[in-house]
Structure 1
């Protein structure tokens, strides 16, 4: 068996992430790709932090996955719009990853997502050694591969089963469960970063939308405001109850005063009758 030390020695001629290009020099094809990646990353962070309390995981956003050594090097990489790898360090040698070098880490991403900019043929290309679909299915082999088309408000999710990708059917909510993460993937129509679009988002397995940090803060703010309003309503109810009790006390006091006045009138009347020689009891 090859030891870890021998493996490192064997890989010495092969470049690491600091020696490989971090970009192929092309422009992002769709302005929505960047906010879409942020949305996915931001909302799933609490899930990943629970899964990896030691912080050992990596999220790639348009980050190259080097799967073979070529000339130029970037020809041997695929750069998914978004991917997640568990049980790997987020930093290498104390610096941020510039790429994910598959021949050094040997752990495939759990899920790879591509955001379609054209007609989707590039993301579904099964041409050997060249097509994205072929490379993911035959070489990198992430257990889940998703193709998101904002223009069609749709996402296709494939699962690696029996050595090939099988297209998954959506559940009753129109989502695609990713069991290892305990989440579902689907389309959410709404506003994010000032754009109303059909965004790709996560839900938990009970169908609850996973919120971004800003949404969580807004939700907390709304809960706090609702709690403040409930407390104010309770204070007002207590004040109204106090006022009712005070009114009742005042009515009782008035009734007592009226009874005392009536008693005093009766006493005066009896005194007058006695002064006339009439016994009131008779």
Structure 2
């Protein structure tokens, strides 16, 4: 309750108003109008999202999305300092809830558990530098991967160690990287998707089978 100060009231005798933390911004923007780097980047993102949804079609305890804003602090929201991974997955959340973006303080403080950034020559330095540092130190995302849809050899991944930062993952004999959080391998697959032939980043199960798309 506020106290009105008058000529007969000294600051020492006034009751201080209880401090309340500032409310997070409510005027969040969820679309900046910026497209993905290329049509291949768009397809590559949707392949990861749709195949994970297909693999776990009976589950409702996870959320996966891509090219969406992730709001993680009031300061970042006010500065319009957006961080939108190309693909991300969060476990142990209500996957049926409708979302325009991922707002950490509306999700019980949950950050993405897995992130994949689809690089291009213009974003590679940020994806492997500034963003990797953010995902390691602030998000504490357990598994982080980068892949260039136009350069199949530019595929790397890191797993967050409990006693430190990211440790570079070692590929198996097929060149795949293990995603411990999801329990799938991430590896390349050559073929045509949505009328575009390319080498795509795909999920594989523990037996080495390709995780299929819904169709």
Is TM > 0.5 for Structure 1 vs Structure 2?
yes
The answer as to 2:120 corresponding to 1:117 is yes
When you count helix as a share of all residues, which structure comes out higher?
A: 1
Q: Which of 36, 45, 50 does residue 37 from structure 1 map onto?
A: 45
Q: How many angstroms does 1:98 deviate by?
A: 1.3
Q: How many angstroms does 1:28 deviate by?
A: 2.0
Task: Name 1:235's counterpart in structure 2.
Answer: none
TM-score by length of 2: 0.80
Q: How many angstroms does 1:47 deviate by?
A: 2.9
- Write the mapping of 1:22-101 to structure 2, written as runs, cut at 5 A: 22-50=30-58, 52=59, 55-70=60-75, 73=78, 75-90=80-95, 92=97, 96-101=98-103
When you count strand as a share of all residues, which structure comes out higher?
A: 2
Q: How many angstroms does 1:74 deviate by?
A: 6.2
Please state whether the residue corresponding to 2:125 is helix, strand or coil: coil
Does the CA-based 8 Å contact 2:72-2:104 persist in structure 1? yes
Length, aligned pairs only: 192
C-alpha distance in 1 between matches for 2:69 and 2:78: 11
- Write the mapping of 1:103-252 to structure 2, written as runs, cut at 5 A: 103-105=105-107, 106-119=109-122, 120-125=124-129, 131-154=130-153, 155-161=155-161, 162-214=163-215
Please state whether the residue corresponding to 2:23 is helix, strand or coil: coil
Q: Which of 23, 27, 37 does residue 13 from structure 1 map onto?
A: 23
Q: Who wins on radius of gyration, i.e. which is larger?
A: 1
TM-score by length of 1: 0.62
Task: Name 2:16's counterpart in structure 1.
Answer: none
Q: CA RMSD in A?
A: 2.1
User: Are residues 181 and 71 of structure 1, via their aligned partners in 2, closer, same or farther at CA, if it must alter by over 3 Å?
Assistant: closer
Does the CA-based 8 Å contact 2:54-2:213 persist in structure 1? no
Please state whether the residue corresponding to 2:126 is helix, strand or coil: coil
Please state whether the residue corresponding to 1:32 is helix, strand or coil: helix
List gaps (5 residues or longer) in structure 1: 1-9, 126-130, 215-282
Task: Name 2:10's counterpart in structure 1.
Answer: none
Q: How many angstroms does 1:99 deviate by?
A: 1.4
